Structure 1
Amino acid sequence: MKLVFAGTPDVAIPSLTALAATEHTIEAVITRADAPLGRKRVLTPSPVARTAEELGYSVIKTNRLGDEATAEIAALRPDLGVIVAYGGIVREPLLSLPRLGWINLHFSLLPRWRGASPVQRAVMSGDVDTGAAVFQLVRELDAGAVFGSFSQPVGAHSTSGMLLESLSHSGADLLVRVVDELAAGTARSVEQSGEVTLAPKLTMDDARVDWNRPAVEIYNQIRGVTPEPGAFTLVDDARLKLLEVAPAYGAQIPAGAILQRDKHVLIGTQTDALELVSVQPAGKKAMNALDWWRGLAATEVVAS
């Protein structure tokens, strides 16, 4: 079949490279426009744009799939549109333009966690399982019939970044299987059923830690927002990014209090303490939490 592929971040690359290795033809790759990155705000192509150019594909860079993008895609006469984390909405008439419409690889067990941050929300909510699904794109958000899915354990200590890396590769295999079945005319879909939950885009409010909550909830929150946007707290009104924490079972200290016990830096919650393993103070590089603590030359501080 003739495909158009839409994706933007690293998590979409395994799907693009997997489809590139099939007998299907990728007529163009759609991705978001170059974005300013780093302190110098240098315009930088998306990970998918870089990969597509390395593979020799025509690249359409746009943040909005409007009339101009629709005309470019229409000229290609695609059989199928494939989306993996593009970051934009496909509306009519583009939605119905490919002969077989559009399919989407989504990293959740639909209809749970429809939206922009499904893996992150699954981790933050303490879900035991997550997974991925390939579904038919429809007007309603992530509501189309599902062609295939799989599940896998979240893992007690996995971050959302770890899970996305794993799911991106397993999901690419699923996506290729569905594309092949659509080409062969053997694909079968099932309407979604069950409770719908939403996974809105993460904000900095999701990343700031409230130490008056139970340790398990905070631990899930920190894992869920790692690596982006990254959990943080305030120490002496300065932001401290929490890169890695670990449970400190049985250790109980006041919520928000930070202190050293043996060679461990602990911070209190409503229940058991958590251990700070790796942190990043504002304006500095990532460092071992014990080195950061020694640099404070304090016996106890309180985070907020």
Structure 2
Amino acid sequence: MKIIFMGTPEFAVPSLEKIYDSHHEIIAVVTGPDKPAGRGKKLKPTPVKRRADEFSIPILTPEKLSDENFIGELKQLNADLFVVVAFRILPKSVFTIPPLGTINLHASLLPKFRGAAPINWAIMNGENESGVTTFFIEEKVDTGEWILQKKVSISEKETAGELHDKLTVIGADVLLETVNTIEQGNAPRITQEGEVIKAPKLTRELCHINWEKDVVSIYNLIRGLAPFPRAFSYFNEKEFKICGAEISTMNLDKGKVAGEIVDINKEKIFVAAGDGILAITEVQPPNKRRMSVAEYLRGHSVELGERFQ
């Protein structure tokens, strides 16, 4: 089949590679425009664009997906199927172009975690399983009839970054299987049923730790925001990113204030939460690199009774 692939970040690259290495033909790639990055603010291509360049696939980088010239180009390419992985919301004028429709790979078990950040929210929500779903795109975001799903388990210590890497590989396999099924003409179209959970874009407010919450929720927040954008708290009026933590078995004494440092050893800072104690193991101080608490304590004084806020 002739396919137009649409995607932007690293998550989409293995899917692009998988389809490229198959018997299908990727006749064009649609991705985001180059963006300034780094100290020099040099224009940087998206990960998908870099890989498509290496494969010598024609690339389209529209500013607006509703642009008439862009839509005209898509129609002229005469693709059988559009394949979307971690891209923007497509207007109806785009996703209705190919005769076999437009499919999307989503990093959750739909209808759970519809939205922009399904991997982060699965961890923050304390889920013990996640997965990927392929589905036909319709007007309402992430609501289309699904084709294939694949489940994976989530360990108690797993971070969003680790789940991301797992789903990237599994997703590419499921996507190619989906494309092959569509080509054969026997792709299922299954209505999404079950609990709908939203996974909206991550905000700075969400990343700020509320120490009055239960310790498990705080621990899951830290895992779910690792390695990016990271959960943070204020310490001595400076922003500290909390990169690693454990749930402590210590008992929380009455009278301790949420965010208060209740114990310190060579490797951990123990902080009171709403119903327990969190042991911080890794931090990123302001304008510094990520480091272990052991390394931080070698150069900084931290006292019992001080507070994270």
Place the TM-score, normalised by the shorter chain, in its bin: over 0.9
- In structure 2, what is the equivalent of residue 290 of structure 1? 294
1:69 aligned residue: 70
- Matched-pair contact (CA < 8 Å) for 2:266–2:297: no
Matched, 1:281 2:285: yes
* Aligned equivalent of 2:222: 222
Which residue matches 1:302? Answer: 307
Contact 1:208 1:232 in 2 (8 A): yes
Q: Is the 8 A contact 1:232 1:241 kept in 2?
A: yes
Q: Distance in 1 between matches of 2:11 and 2:283?
A: 25
Deviation, 1:16, is 0.5
1:149 corresponds in structure 2 to 149
CA contact (8 A) 1:148 1:189 kept: no
Q: Any stretches of 5+ residues in structure 1 without a counterpart?
A: none
Please name the residue that 1:4 is paired with. 4
Match of 2:275 in 1: 271
Aligned-partner Cα distance in 2 for 1:39–1:243: 24
Counterparts of 2:63 and 2:89, CA distance in 1: 9
Q: CA deviation at 1:63?
A: 4.2
Q: Given the alignment of the two structures, is residue 246 of structure 1 paired with residue 246 of structure 2, yes or no?
A: yes
- Distance, in Å, in 1 between the alignment partners of 2:33 and 2:44 is 9
Residue 263 of structure 1, CA deviation: 3.6
Q: Distance in 1 between matches of 2:246 and 2:91?
A: 44
User: CA separation of 1:54/1:251 partners in 2, compared to 1, >3 Å: closer, same or farther?
Assistant: farther
Contact persistence 1:265–1:290 (CA under 8 A) = no
1:187 and 1:267, CA in 2 relative to 1: closer, same or farther beyond 3 A?
Answer: same
Which deviates further from its counterpart, 197-206 or 261-270? 261-270
Q: Where does residue 78 of structure 1 map in the other structure?
A: 79
RMSD of Structure 2 on Structure 1 (CA): 1.5
Contact kept? 1:207, 1:225, Cα under 8 Å: yes
Q: Is the 8 A contact 2:266 2:294 kept in 1?
A: no
| CA deviation map 1:79-100 (0-9, x unaligned) | 00000101x1111221210111
Bigger CA drift: 190-199 or 289-298? 289-298
Q: Residue in 1 aligned with 2:95?
A: 95
Match for residue 256 of structure 1? Answer: 259
TM-score (norm 2): 0.94
Pairwise CA distance, 1:250: 2.4
Q: CA deviation at 1:58?
A: 1.1
Instruction: Name structure 2 gaps, 5 residues minimum.
Output: none
* Identical counterparts, % of pairs: 34
Deviates more, 1:150-159 or 1:253-262: 253-262
Between 32-41 and 50-59, the greater mean CA deviation after superposition:
32-41
In the alignment, is the contact (CA less than 8 A) between 1:265 and 1:293 conserved in 2?
Answer: no
| CA shift digits 1:254-298 (9 cap, x unpaired) | 321234135422222122222222211111111111222332223
Q: Is the 8 A contact 1:31 1:63 kept in 2?
A: no
Write the distance in 1 (CA, Å) between the matches of 2:4 and 2:290. Answer: 40
Deviation by residue 1:80-130 (Cα, 9 ceiling, x = unmatched): 0000101x1111221210111100000111111111111111111111211
Aligned residue in 2 for 1:234: 234
Partner of 1:239, secondary structure, is: strand
- Mapped contact 2:108–2:119 kept (Cα < 8 A): yes
Inter-partner Cα distance in structure 1 for 2:15 and 2:141: 21
Alignment of 1:110-189 (within 5 A): 110-189=110-189
Moved more, 51-60 or 13-22: 51-60
Q: TM-score, normalised by structure 1?
A: 0.95
CA–CA distance in structure 2, aligned partners of residues 79 and 4 of structure 1: 8
Give the aligned residue type for 1:293. L
Listed one character per residue, the Cα deviations across residues 132-186 of structure 1 (whole Å, up to 9, x for unaligned) are: 1000000011111111001111211111111011011111101000101111112
